[in-house]
Amino acid sequence: MNEFRYKFEDRFAETKGYDGFAADKEEINHFFETRVKDKVADHANVGIDAKNQHIYNLCYDCNIPLWLELYERVVNVATKSGVKLNWDEIRHCIRFTFIWMPPGGNLLPHTARAFRALSAFNMPLRGKTAISFYEHLPGHKPGEKIETHEYFNPNFLNVNRFHGVVNDTDSERMILKTHLMITPWDKLVQAYEGHETVNMFDFTVPWQNIPKDYHVYEKVK
């Protein structure tokens, strides 16, 4: 049974990482610089001032070849971290977002209200990666800050609990957020702490019954 390096309520849990994560992280940084940055537009339509952060979204059906390249890298990191999730089962419900923040940038306390997901698998890539958690007040409003944690390893986030970020350093900050639209928090915890691969459904989804070497449709006569 794996134990988290850090866990806070049903909001956040950091894995212990693995030997070689630093090298895999640098490779993903290189992937961002050469395959994503300046090729995938910064999405400024989420209501965040571009002076505070830039986001680069890769969705499953927007650029499948590029998405698949990143998917393989993320699954590699997750598997080495000890996350036993059936990724192929849910990969059409995964969205990747590189979140780059300049020195002094911030992200106010928020939940996944506009872009909906149940949870996220986050990966620190650059700079000091600290996250803060806030009280929930009536009317779905954030209250006082109740915890701040600096993380160094891949981690899980309950995106439906108030959280925020302040980059109070002189360096850039960047993470890769893997939005898991249909994966509940407790399933993520089970996928790390348990011994078995975790599925979202109690049946085998149709696409996982297709032979791996099947690539061509035969013509119907």
Q: What is the pLDDT of residues 72-107, one digit of tens each?
A: 999 999 999 999 999 999 999 999 999 999 999 998
pLDDT at 47 over 50: no
Kind of pairing between the strands at 141-150 and 119-126: unpaired
For residue range 159-179, list pLDDT tens digits in order. 999 999 999 999 999 999 999
What whole-number distance in Å separates Cα of residue 208 and Cα of residue 123? 27
Element (H, E) at 190: helix 185-193
- Which residue is associated with the tokens 């988290």? 4
Assess contact for 100 and 54: CB atoms under 8 A: yes
Element (H, E) at 89: helix 87-90
Give Cβ neighbours of residue 99 (< 8 Å, ≥ 6 apart): 53, 54, 55, 174, 175, 176, 177
Q: Check residue 6 and give its pLDDT.
A: 98
Q: Choose among 19, 55, 18: nearest CA to 37.
A: 55
What whole-number distance in Å separates Cα of residue 159 and Cα of residue 71? 20
Phi, psi of 208 (to 5 degrees): -85, 0
The domains located in the chain, with CATH, are 6-201 (2.60.120.10)
Q: Check residue 45 and give its pLDDT.
A: 44
Q: Determine if the pTM surpasses 0.75.
A: yes
Going by pLDDT thresholds of 50, 70 and 90, the confidence category of residue 114 is confident
% of residues, the chain, pLDDT over 90:
77
